[in-house]
Amino acid sequence: MSNPNYTQMWENLNLDLSAHDGLLEVLGKFYGDIYLSQQGRLKGMEYLDFVLSEVHGLRIKELQDAKAQGRKVIGTFCVFVPEELTLAADAVHVGLCAGADAGTEQAEQLVPRNTCALIKSFIGFKMARLCPYTESCDLVVGETTCDGKKKAYEAFSEHVPMHVMEVPHTKSQSARELFKAEVLRYKEQLEKLTGTTITPQRLAEGIRIVNEKRRALQRLSALRASDPAPISGRDALLINQVSFYDDPVRFTQSVNTLCDQMEERIKAGEGITPAGTPRLMLSGCPMAVPNWKLPYIMESSGAVIVGEESCIGTRNTRDLVNESADSMDAMLDAIVDRYMKIDCACFTPNDERTGNVTSMAKELKADGIVHYALMFCQPYAHEAFKIDKASREAGIPMLAIETDYSMEDVEQLKTRVEAFVEMVRS
Ligand code: BJ8
């Protein structure tokens, strides 16, 4: 993945070149073992393989070209930041992935050791100068979701230009009003940064583009209800991961092409695994690139993953913004309504998530649920109990996993997952 054509660009971004080369080497090897080793992948996955092979190359070059034309790059960590507004300001919206152990020692100088791996990862990537996305950002947007993130942003904002959105923790009327005020504040911040006025026409276009992307991902998700499963969970996760940093229009087209291929496969009665393969659904914390450890373990234990109830999955794609509004205020209301449906574990109470998990598992004909919480993630670890109870009541077995990005627990995880797959199979 390291490419001498990009060395100058990485140097200009002030990356630590030798550490960055090391990261790309590990990532390339990891990708080869986990992704390219799969048999019977859909032809359309070649596009995703290409995008990933150029994740620090061509896509970063595109960001630099956009910046040279005067466009701004906005980095985010959470699906609460409305991409519709970013696009309406003619800026580029990228998710900052945070899915690998990197710069942990430096990160632990800014946040406590007992902080989830995702938070340590985004701080570590910055402090170790490893992430060309973070370095390309004109603004990074944080949010007051969990305690770990909101406190980490205090330290992080000393190193990157930040805007922090206040995300409420309840779904009351006053919480909705607060969030609407925050959406307005984000709009103003974008207008100030980009010099572009967000008109109703621009916002309508932003809403349309993001809805189209979500519709394509919804289509992909629905096709996974077929048995045999037309696509592996690893590939579907990768598609969701790439949705956060690829150009949205190009990405939507390639997902729809892939869905056409999935439909052909389903019509032919074919799949990525034989019919009757134990079907598992993942639920819980988001899995950012290159956090593929657990999906790989699950699919190499004789199961196929048929859905991800996660922000890098259906929590980000389930709801669309109503496109019928035509005034600015009505469009902002439509955005607020859509975003306030997100069932993140940071909300209390968050009862809709339990219903969403069980109905999704039934729609996808999942035989079991693997609940995944990152170590030290209080919100999702707490909700594992509620999801366990709800899935037992729905007659679907659940396995609760807490892990991080290290490889130390791989053998232990394998043993637990294999036993769960055997139990589900019988
Ligand atoms: S809307 S899930 S993307 S906050 S894993 S950092 S919760 S301690 S990621 Fe999230 Fe937005 Fe919610 Fe989605 Fe904290 Fe937990 Fe770490 Fe987490």
The pLDDT of residue 2 is 63
**Pair type for strands 398-403 and 304-309:** unpaired
CA of 311 to the centre of ligand 1 (A): 8
**158-204: pLDDT as tens digits:** 999 999 999 999 999 999 999 999 999 999 999 999 999 999 999 99
Partner residues linked to 371 by β-bridges? 283, 400
Quick one: pLDDT at residue 4? 83
- Alpha-carbon 48 to chain mean position: 15
pLDDT in the model for residue 350: 98
> 284 CA distance to ligand 1 centroid (A)?
9
Kindly report the average pLDDT of the chain as a whole number. 97
Q: What is the pTM of this model?
A: 0.97
Q: Is the CB of 374 under 6 A from ligand 1?
A: yes
> In angstroms, rounded to a whole number, what is the distance separating the alpha carbons of residues 78 and 167?
10
Q: Is 313 in the pocket of ligand 1 (CB under 6 A)?
A: no
Mutate to test the pocket of ligand 1, among 285, 341, 376 (most ligand atoms within 8 A of CB): 285
* Residue with CA at minimum distance from ligand 1 atom 12: 344
Task: Report how far residue 265's alpha carbon sits from residue 270's, in angstroms, rounded to the nearest whole number.
Answer: 5
Q: All domains of the chain, ordered by start, with CATH?
A: 4-170 (3.40.50.11890), 203-425 (3.40.50.11900)
**Among candidates 93, 102, 10, 21, which has minimal Cα distance to 289?**
102
- Give yes or no for residue 146 CB within 6 A of ligand 1: yes
146 CA distance to ligand 1 centroid (A)? 6
- Residue 368 in this model has a pLDDT that exceeds 90: yes
Q: Provide the pLDDT confidence category of residue 222 given band limits of 50, 70 and 90.
A: very high
Give the per-residue pLDDT at 391: 98
pLDDT above 90 for 389: yes
Q: What is the position in ligand 1's atom list of the atom closest to the CA of 147?
A: 14
pLDDT of 3 above 90: no
User: Residue range 388-410: average pLDDT?
Assistant: 98
pLDDT of residue 97: 80
Span 375-397, average pLDDT: 98
pLDDT at position 23 is: 95
- pLDDT at residue number 1: 57
Q: Is the CB of 119 under 6 A from ligand 1?
A: yes
The answer, yes or no, to whether residue 402 has pLDDT greater than 70, is yes
Question: pLDDT digit string (tens) for 139-150?
Answer: 999 999 999 999
Joined together, the tokens standing for residue 13 give: 């971004």
pLDDT exceeds 60 at position 312:
yes
pLDDT above 60 for 129? yes
Phi, psi of 418, deg, nearest 5? -60, -40
Across 355-382, average pLDDT: 98
